[in-house]
Amino acid sequence: FICEYPSDVILIGHCVVKLVDNKNKDSNQITLLFLSGCEEIRHTLVIKYVSVWSNTLDISNKSNEFNNYNQWVSLKDNHNHPIIIGRYNDNYRGVRAVIGGSNNHLLFITYLSNNISVFDLNTFQFIKHDTLPIYDHIWCHCFVSNSENEQGQEMIKTNKQNYQMLVFHQNTGLSIEYDEDINTFQFHQLPICDDISSFKYYAYVCINDAILFFGGLSYTDVASKLVHKYSIRENKWMTFENTLPSPLYNCVAILNEEDNDIYIIGGRDDKYTEVSTHLKTKVRLWDPLQLVMICFYETQIGCIIKLGWIDDFNQIIIKYNQIWFLFYFFTKKLLKRQKVSKYFPFYRNCLFFYGNKLYYQKINKFSFLLELLQFST
């Protein structure tokens, strides 16, 4: 247990984003910003979070250093005055926000009915309000930044003051480009595939060049267990054959970059009942491009430390060598007269570049050959 929200806070379609402090190099601490509310009352909270599993935070320590950790408190300006983000008539139910700008100091907010605002976290002032060129009333929609994608990094490198975001909600698909120099937006319509056009309340996560969508609720209030993918670079959609174990909506998806896992938390099932079971799935199941390169080496590699191994790599190696095995089996008559190992192109060392990690393992030729034969059978 970490903490509770204040009792007066409205938890209907609220949004939590991670703030980026370029000056703070403390990897043990993160700061989260909370937005919620309606026209009459809105809430803006922050929490300085330190892992409850970390030795950094001693629960028994009552010193001032840890007094404000792991507690939701009001956002305050440089003069210690409480700040509530939003204008009088702004409705933040179902709000979505992302952090951006040249110094990660801008908060981009999309909210009912079809509004977008830019809030400067340094000056604690709005610097831009605009209307999205859409017909739908966005609510609990998909709103992601494209700055962490390869495509986005190319854009930032050529013009550091441009920032790109994407919005999806039912029939709406929109690319948003913000020019920080002149404080203007440009909007471009994006296609929506038929399979997802009727859904809302899905979980989503942006990974490299793709956005993954999990579950959702249709126009007719039918919960879905489908998984969809939108490729940003190719501007294409696909629906996976694999699905969630059961229908789910009103959930949230979070990427753990350390182990490339996706966590799907909370939500409701097809009987509109809140679920207590959280799901975990591997990124590689939905984004095979994460496996960037496979290298096989015959020579000894003495300078690489074994950083880890994923069991699925074994099957990839087996399948790869199986192709060569079958090739020699059908094309080399001498294979019957000679030992298999003489013609079997087996590699003793394997390197896998997966995500942002390097995996290396020395392979036992004979045990793998045995496994290969069993696999082939």
Pairing of the two strands 172-179 and 162-169 = antiparallel
Residue range 147-173, pLDDT digits in tens: 654 433 433 434 557 899 999 999 999
For residues 288 and 192, the model is more confident at 192
Considering only 25-29, 217-221, 319-323, which range has the smallest mean pLDDT?
Answer: 319-323
d(CA 346, CA 298): 8
pLDDT value for 272: 92
pLDDT value for 66: 56
pLDDT value for 37: 85
Q: What Cα–Cα distance (Å) separates residue 147 from each residue in 101, 223, 229, 241, 321?
A: 10, 31, 18, 29, 39
Residue 24 above 90 pLDDT? no
Average pLDDT of span 335-361? 48
pLDDT value for 334: 46
pTM of the full structure: 0.74
Considering only 163-172, 313-322, 336-345, which range has the smallest mean pLDDT?
Answer: 336-345
Q: How far is CA 233 from the centre of its chain?
A: 16
Categorize the per-residue pLDDT at 55 as very low, low, confident or very high, splitting at 50, 70 and 90.
low
pLDDT value for 286: 79
Helix (H) or strand (E) holding 74: strand 73-74
Phi-psi sector, 201: left (phi>0), alpha (psi -120 to 50), beta: left
Q: Which pair of tokens denotes residue 208?
A: 């490299």
pLDDT value for 62: 46
Exposed / middle / buried, residue 85 (Cβ in 10 Å: 0-12, 13-18, 19+): buried
Categorize the per-residue pLDDT at 57 as very low, low, confident or very high, splitting at 50, 70 and 90.
low
CA angle, 266 as apex, 263 and 269 as ends, to 5°?
115
The strand pairing partners of 207, in sequence order, are 210
d(CA 348, CA 301): 10
Residue range 157-215, pLDDT digits in tens: 345 578 999 999 999 999 999 999 999 999 999 999 999 999 999 999 998 889 999 99
pLDDT value for 110: 96
Average pLDDT of span 314-343? 52
pLDDT value for 223: 95
* Cβ-based neighbours of 138, under 8 Å, separated by 6 or more: 94, 96, 110, 111, 112, 113, 114, 132, 167, 169, 172
Q: Which residues of 184-204 are buried (b: 16+ CB within 10 A; e: fewer)?
A: ebebeebebeeebbbbbbbbb
pLDDT value for 324: 53
pLDDT value for 371: 42
The CATH homologous superfamily for domain 15-287 is Kelch-type beta propeller (2.120.10.80)
CA angle, 100 as apex, 95 and 104 as ends, to 5°?
125
Residue range 73-90, pLDDT digits in tens: 999 998 999 999 999 889
194: which DSSP letter? T
Categorize the per-residue pLDDT at 369 as very low, low, confident or very high, splitting at 50, 70 and 90.
very low
Average pLDDT of span 241-269? 91
d(CA 203, CA 225): 11
* Cβ-based neighbours of 356, under 8 Å, separated by 6 or more: 257
Residue 41 above 80 pLDDT? yes
pLDDT value for 98: 96
* Cβ-based neighbours of 276, under 8 Å, separated by 6 or more: none
Per the CB < 8 A criterion, the answer to whether 84 and 77 are in contact is no
Q: Break the chain into its structural domains and give their ranges.
A: 15-287, 292-376
Residue range 109-145, pLDDT digits in tens: 999 889 999 999 999 999 999 999 998 889 999 999 9
179: which DSSP letter? E
52: which DSSP letter? T
Average pLDDT of span 334-338? 48
d(CA 244, CA 24): 38
Rg (alpha carbons) of the chain, rounded to whole number: 25
Residue range 58-70, pLDDT digits in tens: 544 544 555 678 9
Considering only 57-66, 141-150, 220-229, 283-292, which range has the smallest mean pLDDT?
Answer: 57-66
Helix (H) or strand (E) holding 330: helix 311-331
Average of per-residue pLDDT values in the chain? 77
